[in-house]
Amino acid sequence: MNRLPTVLTAPLLATTVVAALAAPAQASPALVTCAGTTTVSFSPGLTPVEQTVAVSGQDAADLCLSLTHPQLTGFIAPFSGTATQSCTSLFAGGSGTETLNWNDGTSSSWSYTNSFSNVNGTKVGTSTGPITAGTLAGAMVTQTITFPSLDLTACTTSQGLTALSGLDTWTFTRT
């Protein structure tokens, strides 16, 4: 019988276990992915001078796909509040909470932190955070929003910058 001595088998087994534990984890597959739009209004309009403004708008995902949650095909998420903003501080980042109202009558609450970058002259925002309650509770969300036709020259008009709109994608994953 050809059998490896126990002295050689134990180190080989230990090496195999350590290699398996050290292997990088696979990324979690998306539970839901969505595409949609974001619209934002400011009153009064933003100018180069910081001021307190009313902010309102809506995130709307009109195309969501999921193998695990096929009933989730879209959501709307109206938002409103006040902020101290100017055209120069508009993309400084921040945090907040939002409720996503799904097409099937359920909702998800999430807490997010966002940041913005400039990619070839286009403002791109990324918001990330967990679903804290409701449908998909415990999932992580990444929203990427692109403002393709941002006209900041409105900041120097008498009305100021009163509205923005952009295209966004959403990815919901288990952590």
- What pLDDT shows up at residue 149? 67
pLDDT of residue 27: 53
pLDDT, block means (10 residues), the chain with 175 residues:
34 30 50 96 94 94 95 95 87 87 97 87 90 96 88 89 94 91
156: in domain: yes
0.85 cut: is pTM over it? no
Residue 156: domain span: 30-173
Question: Residue 161, Cα to own-chain centre: how many angstroms?
Answer: 24
pLDDT at residue 91, rounded to an integer: 79
Question: Is 167 within a domain?
Answer: yes
Nearest to 120 by CA among 144, 156, 147: 147
Residue 9 counted as domain residue: no
Q: What is the pLDDT of residue 18?
A: 30
Q: Please count the structural domains in the chain.
A: 1
Task: Determine, yes or no, domain membership for 6.
Answer: no
Q: With beta carbons less than 8 A apart as the criterion, state whether 89 and 105 touch.
A: no
pLDDT of the residue at 10: 33
Beta strands in 66-139 (DSSP E): 75-85, 94-102, 107-119, 122-134
- Pairing outcome for strands 140-147 and 122-134: antiparallel
Please indicate, yes or no, if residue 56 is contained in any of the structural domains.
yes
Structure tokens at 125: 């925002």
DSSP 12: H
The answer to the question of residue 120 being in a domain is: yes
